[in-house]
Chain A
């Protein structure tokens, strides 16, 4: 912030000239840092009688620093600048507050989960493991298979719905679909799980738990997200490109495939990747529909399947005796899950960069 420093004042024309009114007093560049430092010292001193608790010091420092910067700026730079500084300081504080839970979660998970982040964790399932050892290979595979199924189901349905809404949909039907998609976005995930459980209980038998059911439950959650993001991306394609294509005698369906989708492919792929990341961590519907097993199960059409969130949940709630080994595994599974979601987010960024239209 505040790129021009005191140099500006020095190089400006001498006082008395007509430009004198343009000159202004400025706080030096290091002033905000100095104020924060001073605020920290004062906060520590003030809270020392109470043992200087970290949270107390942080809150007090923030208040003192915001007030101090405003006051200093008010005295030196005048009221307009002071307001600017005040708002900048408040925004910075808000950002730091928002970062606290994120950093805290990542820190805790890494600290607790790193212990079991070993080869065995990736090469072993929990088959015939009691107490020490074991891994999450089966849960990792389960998550990949279930979310893969969900993606396979949701992407065609979601993308085609979005194409219908943007390119063809007019009138009442399109409005109803948009409305229902909005409603679907708000469905609690446990309801999606119960819905699939109920459907399978009616069609086959009660108490069934399959990988496929998990994929279907997740796709109930994923479809509205895919529709929404694809719809937004398709709407971003300028109408001029569609017209340019029509004017070349290209039929509408070819225009959609080769011009509209080709132009929007980066955004669509990004949206889908983020939707996948969004459902990867779902626990409640998988708890109901997929259950948990100790061993590897690659068949989504038969038997229960382990998934990372459910695995972590059970390792934590039913750790057995002694509990510490299971709890360590739970942390590592959560760490893996976070890494997976973060990886998908990074992938989304890469995809959008690769497909972005280039100017040169």
Chain B
């Protein structure tokens, strides 16, 4: 299931504004790649360009290549909708559908796309996804209750369950724990540990300890000045980045001597 993504010479624009410049990196399968860096350096923008969520914003576009499975995701014959079915996404703020129950939220990827599925198969998929997101035991008795009634941490795990229910190859996470308390954060981090056995995971985080805890590879983004495009300063094994970075800027950022 998990797949490798090869990004080469990627420039990301908002209209005429170049937001992220010249990113080249390989995202390994069955591993967690963390993107760190100061605010506004283009981590989230880069993440969103990986499953073509970037172009939902009017005027946003990219140049360059994002290759998965030998196919350029930005090729002219590729439908962004198909890309997003293979590359799922979890957002910063938990966003369960307020009109749907817990069950319906998990089944949303199937239901919203009007795919036919036997009730028993769907039940099984929902259970598997909720178990996958470590949420099954907490919600199994109230699957028909609204998803919005869960706590923030539970909602975020519900969103993860919803994302893995469509069985993507890659899971993108945009600061998935920044709105959560430490206990919920721990639950989500444990979950990431398990999920990486099956998925390629890319996670944006502002929390350096989190990057050090959960990721195998870390990419450090930075920008020269406000209004300048963000760039990848360094990408390496997480252990190397945090103990022996090759760039001065990386070391300064990680040790808090930034700016």
Chain A residues in the interface with B (C-beta under 8 A): 170, 238, 240-251, 254-255, 258-259, 262-263, 357-360
Contact = CB atoms under 8 A, between A and B. Distances in A.
Interface string B78-101: 000111111011010101111100
Interface in B45-94: 51, 53, 56, 58, 81-86, 88-89, 91, 93
B162 interface: yes
Contacts of A263: 97-99
Interface stretch (B105-113, B188-196, B197-205): B105-113
Say what secondary structure dominates the interface of chain B: mixed
Interface in B8-63: 51, 53, 56, 58
Given A246-B56, A248-B88, A258 B112 contact: yes
10 residue pairs, one from A and one from B, having the closest CB atoms = A249-B85, A357-B98, A247-B89, A240-B95, A248-B109, A249-B84, A360-B149, A250-B112, A244-B95, A359-B149
Given A248-B85, A249-B84, A358-B149, 14 more contacts: A238-B95, A243-B91, A244-B91, A247-B88, A247-B91, A248-B112, A248-B166, A249-B86, A249-B113, A255-B112, A357-B146, A358-B146, A358-B148, A359-B146
B99 A262 contact: yes
B131 interface: no
B163 interface: yes
Contacts of A245: 97, 108, 112
B146 A244 contact: no
B97 A247 contact: no
A241 B83 CA distance: 19
Interface string B145-177: 110110000000001001100100000000000
B226 interface: no
Contacts of A241: 95, 97-98
A248 B146 contact: no
B224 interface: no
B146 A240 contact: no
